[in-house]
Structure 1
Amino acid sequence: MFLQLKDTGDLVKIVDVQELLDPNNETIHGQDQEGQEEQETDIFKKDELVFPSGESLPRCWLDANYRKAK
């Protein structure tokens, strides 16, 4: 699965999708997709990522308490 960094537009290949789906994780492991060589795994903050279409990540992936009213 690929996501995009909000500030640069660079694509990031998600290493572990379950890590992305867990709302208790604020960061995920991914590989920046720059150049033709496979990049080292790095840590990315989930709130800095969007879908390649520009759509935000679902709130249930970011907030463990998303069902509670504010």
Structure 2
Amino acid sequence: MLLQVKDSGELVKILEIKELLDPNSNIVHGREQQGEEEQPPDTFKKENLVFPSGEVLPRCWLDADYRHDKG
């Protein structure tokens, strides 16, 4: 799955989808997609990632307590 870094617009290939879906994890491991050579794995904060369309990640991927109203 490809996501985008909010600030830079760089694309990131997510290495472990389970990590992305886990609301108890605030980071994911991925590889920046730059040029034709594969980049080394790196960690990315989920809060800094969006879908390539610009849409934010689902709250249930970011917040383990998403079912409780905080308002």
**TM-score, normalization: structure 2?**
0.97
User: Could you tell me which residue of structure 2 aligns to residue 6 of structure 1?
Assistant: 6
Q: How many equivalent pairs are there? A: 70
Q: Deviations over 1:26-46 (max 9, x none)?
A: 000000001210000000000
**TM-score, normalization: structure 1?**
0.98
Between the aligned residues of both structures, percent identity stands at 64
Gaps of 5+ in 1: none
After the TM superposition, which segments of 4 or more aligned residues of structure 1 sit over 4 Å from their partners? none
Gaps of 5+ in 2: none
Aligned alpha-carbon RMSD (Å): 0.4
Tell me which amino acid in the other structure corresponds to 2:26: E
